[in-house]
Structure 1
Amino acid sequence: MEQREPLVAGQVPQLDLEVKALLNAGRLPEANSLFDQVVSRVPPGADRWQRSAVLVNRAKLAWRLGRIPLALELAAEGWTDLDGEHSDNAAAAQAMHALAYLLEGIGNRRAAVDMLRLSVQVARKAAETSEDGVEVLAHCLQGLGGTLNFRAISSPPDRAPAIFEEARGYLKEGLELVEDEQMRRALLAAYSRSLAGVGELEQAEENARETLRQAEDAGDKWAMAVSGWVLAVVRREQDRLVEARTLASRAVAAAEAINDPSLLLRFSLDLADICARMDDHVGEATALRCSVAAGKTATETLQEGLAQALEQRRVAVQAQRLAVAAQEAAARDPLTGLANRLGLERAAAGLLESTAARGRVPWLVLVDVDRFKGVNDDAGHAAGDATLREIAQLLRRECRSADLVARWAGDEFVVLLGDPGANSMEVGPTVAERIRAAVDHHDWTMVLGTTRRPTVSIGVAAGPAKLDQLFAAADMALYRAKRHGRNRVEVEPHAEVPEPVPGT
């Protein structure tokens, strides 16, 4: 097995970074294939925050790959791990950053910005104590600055400059911290757009060209797309519209290559605006169709993903219900529908404890069908089964819903009385006699014809709130009932009966 270094705070596993690099290079099939290899691996030594960061970052990768249900599943699991104190944890900040990306993707824009601001706050504290925290802070600053750029673009003209200025501050801070080349390109590209937004076109162009040069050398189509877009914006503001149209068209093509609907939507809208200024109605229409298609793709992807997630949830609920049904079936006698021995043992402890807690006397009634073998021999096993079902119905009728009625084994039944009531010292024998009489006086003609009708012998015991002790005592009483002629009730006199609590 391949050995890997344990994950340290704020660090993204190398294979995850390789997936991201393949995505940014537009190599989607390779990214998908590699992602399948890493998605189920959690690095050794990861704590809860690191695990959360890995899960949510992978949710972000899954989202970019169009695997929406998996993205939602990973995000939900990672988000759950984020619950708790994380005031200075770099991994928590990184998880928040990735989570904000997903919130943005599903349209929860305000929550996305709030999450990004929180990620920066947490990362700042982490940066005070670790180098990894510094890298994560740069990452979080890039996310917040880039998102604010997009907010500024869609804001009213009088508010946009202030938002661009805020974004520029975050992005400049990030550039002063970062060493990773890929992250530096992302920061520089976003910083260029902020500069263009506040009117510093010459500096914006210089930075965008440098980003484009580095991106072309690295094969980073994401940075190529963003830097090309910034150059198109600069040319538009300079009224050099032919160049702006060419640059914007290249940015749109690059966004298409990396399958990024949000960038494609933004770039195609700007291309449409440039074409409109040039009275290029054909180009404008083409760009608008592209923007509509990008918006539709994003919406359909989300809708399809949510539909799949809903279906997965439905299947999970169905499986849970089947599991519960199987568990219930395992505790129920298929012939009579009563609880079986397992069901009785599962429920008895709680019932006995609650009875004793109220100061009541726990009672157990043990019922055995007299000479049941003779019923089977004379009327057949089908009639014997029908007899047992009929007795089960009589037991239900003579007991209350709070009582636990079970088929113990063969022709033996157990009734554990729920809350015997204030008069608990007499209720056990009373219920037992009622059951005996109901069986003895029942019309058995429909079930057994002229065959001798069955009777029951019953042993009754009260005592400590333990099933095995109660059962042993009731079994002794049942033995006496059989020995003394059957079709009778015997109460075990030696059972240890607690004194009832006064006033209960």
Structure 2
Amino acid sequence: MEQRDPLTAGYVTHMDLRVRVLLNAGRLPEANALFDEVVNRTPPGTDRWVHAAILVHRATMAWRLGRIPLALELAAEGWLDFDPETTDHPAAAQTLSTLGYLLEGMGHRHGALDILRKAMKIARRANGPDALAQCLQRLGGTLNFRAASGPAAAAPAIFAEAKGYLAEGLTLHTVDDHVHRGLLGAYSRSLAGVGELEHAEKVARQVLDLALEAKDHWGKAVGNWVLAVVCRERGELVAARTLASRSVASAQVINDTSLVLRFSLDLADICTELDDSVGEAAALRYSVAAGTRANESLQEGLGQALEQRLLAVQAQQAKVAAEEAAARDPLTGLANRLGLERAAALLLESTASRGRVPWLVLVDVDWFKGVNDDAGHAAGDAALREIAQLLRRECRTDDLVARWAGDEFVVLLGDNGSGSPSTDHEVGPTVAERIRAAVDGHDWSMVLGTARRPTVSIGVAAGPAKLDQLFAAADMALYRAKRHGRNRVEVEPLVHEITETMSGN
């Protein structure tokens, strides 16, 4: 079943929403299991912006579950071909906002803030209240954290900026209760930051009531944190310590290391003011443990990403090897028909671009059936391998030598030799005659014993033509070589001359 979800301004399955609910409720094993079911499913009919928003949203879920390589993969896929400058789509704003949130969690703070501001601008242009509410909530929340962790002198101005964004977000009509709680929680912290303690306390308690009703540990963590800040400002340090401890505990339940780090540092400061060295040490241990977990997650994630990259490289190498094997004759090691057809176009084009004439040499073994009958198929295969070696020896490294079929071979000569283009008419016949003589003069006794020695008939053709045209012309020359007694070379006129003759020119 599917429902409209303002998180993506599109359609997502209930399972997507359920994963987030389970995470915020601290039910991590259930969230992980359900995430495995939903991660590869995309609702049908989604456009590119909604699809990107869904992928990046899932990246944040993977990040919170500690599945770093998958988070990076999903984020990269969601960002693929994504150009936020050319769209006013609400889902584009959602995508950027979620990416900013993810980058903030990874520690790329400057880049995160820039992206969150850009997401807000797109959301304003898109005139989508759900998208704008989420963008304002994430930008305001991020600014709150910057103010809380930065220089004290700069904090009031940053809190005031955040307050303005969050107040605007609360005026928008959004059907997403999670975003609404997020706006309220962040707004209450901004109020405390600018000294409006009574208002901050009232909003924070509202957040706690909503979070308890929704079984949302994230809301409980933020609500208790703000109340702890309010109590600390009032000098109520014992109450502040209790509330800060609750905020740390809730953040630990949902495995949000960013919250644990921030809240535990505040708890340590409160304990210091109370001269509670034991509590301070415990709070600092929470902070160190959270930082260690974050680093270990990143290190493990990078290691897994490296392993996945290695597997991808190995898979690519296997694919290339399979493609090469598919294009190579297993008996002779030469290119096969597929390999010839794949490489011929490039060789012909390269030769023509140099002003040279390409030649095709078509080689057929004479009386090969008799060789097989007299010496056996194993000896016949050995003879074909010998002929393949002779072809390689008489041709240049850059020439394309292939086994076309059975006892038939093809040599495609490109820019051969160091002579001028005016000598091109000599190249093909010269190479063909070398091949014929090499086969005719070869010592076949080790391979065939006293059986009939093979010879070859060769047809040669040249011209600025395609492979099939050259092959057809060379085949005509080969037929003449067979008809005129075999063990000989015949040359067909240039292919363009044949074309001219056929057209009556």
Same fold flag (TM > 0.5)? yes
In the alignment, which of 205, 210, 230 is matched to residue 206 of structure 2? 210
Letter in 2 for 1:481: A
CA distance in 2, matches of 1:8, 1:462: 66
> Bigger shift: 433-442 or 401-410?
433-442
CA distance in 2, matches of 1:248, 1:45: 46
> Bigger shift: 458-467 or 239-248?
458-467
Q: Does 1:243 align with 2:243?
A: no
CA distance in 2, matches of 1:4, 1:260: 27
In the TM superposition, what are the counterparts of 1:114-153 in structure 2 within 5 Å? 114-127=114-127, 133-153=128-148
CA distance in 2, matches of 1:497, 1:70: 62
* Cα displacement (A) at 1:117: 0.6
* Cα displacement (A) at 1:223: 0.8
Which residue of structure 2 lines up, in the alignment, with residue 476 of structure 1?
A: 476
Query: 1:329-378: per-residue Cα shift (whole Å, max 9, x none)?
Result: 11100111110011112222333344345443332101122233344444
Query: 1:103-153: per-residue Cα shift (whole Å, max 9, x none)?
Result: 1222211111111011001001111xxxxx111111001101111111112
CA distance in 2, matches of 1:14, 1:485: 77
Q: Given that residues 49 and 81 in structure 1 are in contact (C-alpha distance below 8 angstroms), is that contact kept between their aligned partners in structure 2?
A: no
Query: 1:405-455: per-residue Cα shift (whole Å, max 9, x none)?
Result: 100112211011112461222211111112122223334455445655432
CA distance in 1, matches of 2:95, 2:473: 61
CA distance in 2, matches of 1:167, 1:12: 30
CA distance in 2, matches of 1:395, 1:6: 68
Point out where structure 2 has 5 or more consecutive residues left out of the alignment: 500-505
Which residue of structure 1 lines up, in the alignment, with residue 377 of structure 2?
A: 381
CA distance in 2, matches of 1:261, 1:7: 26
Letter in 1 for 2:165: Y
Which residue of structure 1 lines up, in the alignment, with residue 442 of structure 2?
A: 442
In the TM superposition, what are the counterparts of 1:58-457 in structure 2 within 5 Å? 58-83=58-83, 85-127=85-127, 133-180=128-175, 181-420=177-416, 422=421, 423-448=423-448, 453-457=453-457
> Bigger shift: 477-486 or 202-211?
477-486
* Cα displacement (A) at 1:172: 1.4
Letter in 1 for 2:134: H
CA distance in 1, matches of 2:7, 2:57: 15
CA distance in 2, matches of 1:365, 1:86: 56
> Bigger shift: 38-47 or 253-262?
38-47
CA distance in 2, matches of 1:356, 1:428: 15
Change (3 A) 1:283 1:30: same
CA distance in 1, matches of 2:493, 2:96: 69
* Cα displacement (A) at 1:494: 7.7
CA distance in 2, matches of 1:317, 1:244: 54
Letter in 2 for 1:363: W
Q: Given that residues 383 and 448 in structure 1 are in contact (C-alpha distance below 8 angstroms), is that contact kept between their aligned partners in structure 2?
A: yes
Which residue of structure 1 lines up, in the alignment, with residue 20 of structure 2?
A: 20
CA distance in 2, matches of 1:6, 1:458: 72
- Counting matched residue pairs gives 493
Change (3 A) 1:184 1:3: closer
Query: 1:299-351: per-residue Cα shift (whole Å, max 9, x none)?
Result: 21222222222222221221122112111111100111110011112222333
Q: Given that residues 6 and 174 in structure 2 are in contact (C-alpha distance below 8 angstroms), is that contact kept between their aligned partners in structure 1?
A: no
> Bigger shift: 179-188 or 319-328?
179-188
Q: Given that residues 347 and 414 in structure 2 are in contact (C-alpha distance below 8 angstroms), is that contact kept between their aligned partners in structure 1?
A: yes
Letter in 2 for 1:467: L
Q: Given that residues 5 and 12 in structure 2 are in contact (C-alpha distance below 8 angstroms), is that contact kept between their aligned partners in structure 1?
A: no
> Bigger shift: 305-314 or 217-226?
305-314
Change (3 A) 1:90 1:235: same
* Cα displacement (A) at 1:282: 1.4
Q: Given that residues 169 and 183 in structure 2 are in contact (C-alpha distance below 8 angstroms), is that contact kept between their aligned partners in structure 1?
A: yes
CA distance in 1, matches of 2:148, 2:7: 37
Q: Given that residues 329 and 336 in structure 2 are in contact (C-alpha distance below 8 angstroms), is that contact kept between their aligned partners in structure 1?
A: yes
Query: 1:361-402: per-residue Cα shift (whole Å, max 9, x none)?
Result: 332101122233344444443333232222212212222233
Q: Given that residues 7 and 13 in structure 1 are in contact (C-alpha distance below 8 angstroms), is that contact kept between their aligned partners in structure 2?
A: no
Q: Given that residues 8 and 53 in structure 2 are in contact (C-alpha distance below 8 angstroms), is that contact kept between their aligned partners in structure 1?
A: no
Which residue of structure 2 lines up, in the alignment, with residue 11 of structure 1?
A: 10
CA distance in 1, matches of 2:7, 2:425: 67
CA distance in 1, matches of 2:454, 2:210: 94
Letter in 1 for 2:306: L
Q: Given that residues 148 and 163 in structure 1 are in contact (C-alpha distance below 8 angstroms), is that contact kept between their aligned partners in structure 2?
A: yes
TM-score, with structure 1 as normaliser: 0.91
Secondary structure at the residue paired with 1:13? strand
Change (3 A) 1:87 1:346: closer
Query: 1:133-189: per-residue Cα shift (whole Å, max 9, x none)?
Result: 111111001101111111112212222222222111211111122444332211111
Change (3 A) 1:317 1:167: same
Letter in 1 for 2:163: R
Change (3 A) 1:135 1:84: closer
* Cα displacement (A) at 1:14: 5.1
CA distance in 1, matches of 2:3, 2:255: 31
* Cα displacement (A) at 1:8: 11
Secondary structure at the residue paired with 2:461? strand
Letter in 1 for 2:276: D
Letter in 1 for 2:139: L
CA distance in 1, matches of 2:25, 2:157: 33
Change (3 A) 1:43 1:198: same
Letter in 1 for 2:149: S
Secondary structure at the residue paired with 1:442? coil
Change (3 A) 1:220 1:5: closer
Percent of pairs with identical residues: 71
CA distance in 1, matches of 2:32, 2:217: 17
Letter in 2 for 1:272: A
Letter in 1 for 2:153: D
Change (3 A) 1:335 1:48: same
Which residue of structure 2 lines up, in the alignment, with residue 130 of structure 1?
A: none
TM-score, with structure 2 as normaliser: 0.91
CA distance in 2, matches of 1:145, 1:378: 89
Query: 1:39-92: per-residue Cα shift (whole Å, max 9, x none)?
Result: 222223321111111111111112122222221111111001423644421100
In the TM superposition, what are the counterparts of 1:487-502 in structure 2 within 5 Å? 487-493=487-493, 495-497=495-497
Secondary structure at the residue paired with 2:411? strand
CA distance in 2, matches of 1:462, 1:236: 92
CA distance in 2, matches of 1:365, 1:218: 80
Point out where structure 1 has 5 or more consecutive residues left out of the alignment: 128-132, 500-504
CA distance in 2, matches of 1:26, 1:385: 70
Secondary structure at the residue paired with 1:72? helix
* Cα displacement (A) at 1:283: 1.3
Secondary structure at the residue paired with 1:355? helix
